Structure 1
Amino acid sequence: MATVLHSSPKPPQLTRFFPSRSNFLAPLPPIPNPSLQHHHLYNFKSSTSKIFFSSSFSQGSNTPPETVCPVPLDQQPINEYQTLSTSFPFSWASSDVVEYSSKLFVTGASFALFVGFPVAWFGSVGPETEPFKRIMCSLSSGVLIVTLAVVRMYLGWAYVGNRLLSATVEYEETGWYDGQIWVKTAEVLSRDRLLGSFSVKPVLGRLKFTLVILAASLLVCVLLLYNVNGNQKASDISSENGSGRVIPGVYNDESARAFEPDAFCGEPSPP
């Protein structure tokens, strides 16, 4: 025996009619809920503001420290290091050993040959009688000019190294009268100290070793010149005493009799 299932009738659809329209059976579109619209608009604004805030925060976190550093670009230690490492003659100290030594040798030899030797040879009386002394004077001038160049390089690299290793940076905004001090951030301090420890300190060690060698060379040149002058003076005195001639700048009776014997007529000669 079949069972008949009775379904509940569908509720009637509510419609609104406009008598002036021809198709008065067409229903009106549903009226949106204002509270629901406001809710969706608020969610859209909040999500947009969250995205913008997160993007701006991520950009701020990825911003390098130099962009927020108040120190001018030309006074920042890392820029000073880059400028110093590419300028003349400071770039010599950061090159390899062969190039560094050859440049210093060429500088000293050129100065000694083209400046020191002509001055020592033609600027004195009778240089042909003392050739060794003139050559030593020209070599000493070459060593001296190289020493001055190395001292200048050492002072420049030491200044930049101190600014890299220091936790603060002294800078001038517009002139000497408005000096300021900026404390480095942790990232900047770590970067600068790594650069100063592994790039500047080896250069300073090389320059110190060069200064020691140059100082020893100058000392040897001075000792040789002193010995040459001492030997020459001793030989001059012995020759003058042996020949009985007048010694310039020294007065005694013997030299006066040899120079002007008529003034001592009738006086007994010394024993």
Structure 2
Amino acid sequence: MATILLHLSLKPRAATAPAFRSPIIPSSKPRFLTLQPIKETNPITKKVSSYKNGNGSNTPPLPETECPVPHEQQPMHEYQSLSTSFPFSWASGDLVEYCSRLFVTGFSFALLIGLPVAWFGSVGPKSEPLKLVLAAASSGILVVTIAVLRMYLGWAYVGNRLLSATVEYEETGWYDGQIWVKTAEVLARDRLLGSFSVKPVLSRLKYTLVTLAVSLLVCVLPLINVDLGGQEGSYTTSKDFGVRAIPGIYNDDSARSFEPDAFCGEPGLP
């Protein structure tokens, strides 16, 4: 009986699936590794960062650091001030804007100054409208020509200083003839600037001067012909009426014909 009870108590248990423990996910935020800056080993970067100025910035020194020329007399500074000053900045701007400004300047001067002066300075303004228009147009073209010539001289001066290998400057208040020879970097930079920025402006101004000279000649020649035609007409009219005097010319014969009492007793008086 005891043997049967022992056999029943040793009955094997049913097989169950193995239990796996689930991983415990912490509720705190995940931690990331801090990124360290990559050290630059480029030799060019090291060379640039090795430059230090007085303020401690990592900028290379300018080529004019060793230049004894005053800042306002350096060609680079002269170019910058000229390209932003009036009216020199017109020549370096857009072509349409440049032409429109010149046209407005000439037309305004011709309308506001040239035309009133020609109107009050002529004897018969209503009878000679072509002469008034030509005189006003000539005055406007002349003013524009003077302005363009002044711009050309200024740009030519700056261009010569940029292209030159030496710079003349005044160290004191009086011109003492100091000369500084440009370094290789400054000379290369100035010549590039003069070749690609100043020379196109000078070419534009040259073409403008030629155009204005032709326009002024076209306006002046008809004006001269009108004046000569008026003088010939007055001379013909005086001959038809038997007057021996030419308008604008004095001689003894014309004086005797108009004032015979002043020549009493002289030979040759009728």
Structure 2 equivalent of residue 172 of structure 1? 170
Structure 1 equivalent of residue 69 of structure 2? 71
> Among 206, 212, 225, which residue is 1:227 paired with?
225
Structure 2 equivalent of residue 203 of structure 1? 201
Question: What is the aligned-residue RMSD (CA, Å)?
Answer: 2.8
SS for the counterpart of 1:182 is strand
Mapped to 2, the partners of 1:157 and 1:98 lie a distance apart of 20
Mapped to 1, the partners of 2:139 and 2:232 lie a distance apart of 26
Matches within 5 A, 1:1-271: 58-59=51-52, 62-245=60-243, 247=245, 248=247, 249=249
Mapped to 1, the partners of 2:50 and 2:218 lie a distance apart of 66
> Is residue 108–residue 143 contact of structure 1 (8 Å, CA) maintained in 2?
yes
Mapped to 2, the partners of 1:121 and 1:177 lie a distance apart of 49
SS for the counterpart of 2:126 is helix
Residue identity matched to 2:219: C
Structure 2 equivalent of residue 266 of structure 1? none
- Name the stretch that deviates more: 230-239 or 105-114: 230-239
Mapped to 2, the partners of 1:119 and 1:199 lie a distance apart of 41
Structure 2 equivalent of residue 14 of structure 1? none
Alpha-carbon deviations, 1:5-59, whole Å to 9, x = none? xxxxxxxxxxxxxxxxxxxxxxxxxxxxxxxxxxxxxxxxxxxxxxxxx999754
> Is residue 244–residue 253 contact of structure 2 (8 Å, CA) maintained in 1?
no
Structure 2 length-normalised TM: 0.70
- Name the stretch that deviates more: 149-158 or 168-177: 168-177
SS for the counterpart of 1:129 is coil
1:63 deviates by 1.8
Q: Percent identity?
A: 66
1:132 deviates by 1.5
Mapped to 2, the partners of 1:100 and 1:211 lie a distance apart of 13
Structure 2 equivalent of residue 7 of structure 1? none
Mapped to 1, the partners of 2:256 and 2:170 lie a distance apart of 73
SS for the counterpart of 1:120 is helix
> Is residue 169–residue 175 contact of structure 2 (8 Å, CA) maintained in 1?
no
> Is residue 161–residue 196 contact of structure 1 (8 Å, CA) maintained in 2?
yes
SS for the counterpart of 1:170 is strand
Residue identity matched to 1:128: K
1:229 deviates by 1.2
Structure 2 unaligned runs (5+)?
Answer: 1-46, 54-58, 264-270
> Is residue 112–residue 138 contact of structure 1 (8 Å, CA) maintained in 2?
yes
- Name the stretch that deviates more: 185-194 or 68-77: 68-77
Mapped to 2, the partners of 1:85 and 1:137 lie a distance apart of 34
1:105 deviates by 0.5
Structure 2 equivalent of residue 28 of structure 1? none
Residue identity matched to 2:117: V
Structure 1 equivalent of residue 19 of structure 2? none
> Is residue 140–residue 218 contact of structure 1 (8 Å, CA) maintained in 2?
yes
- The aligned length equals 211
Mapped to 1, the partners of 2:79 and 2:49 lie a distance apart of 32
1:87 deviates by 0.2
> Is residue 169–residue 184 contact of structure 1 (8 Å, CA) maintained in 2?
yes
Which structure has greater helix proportion? 1
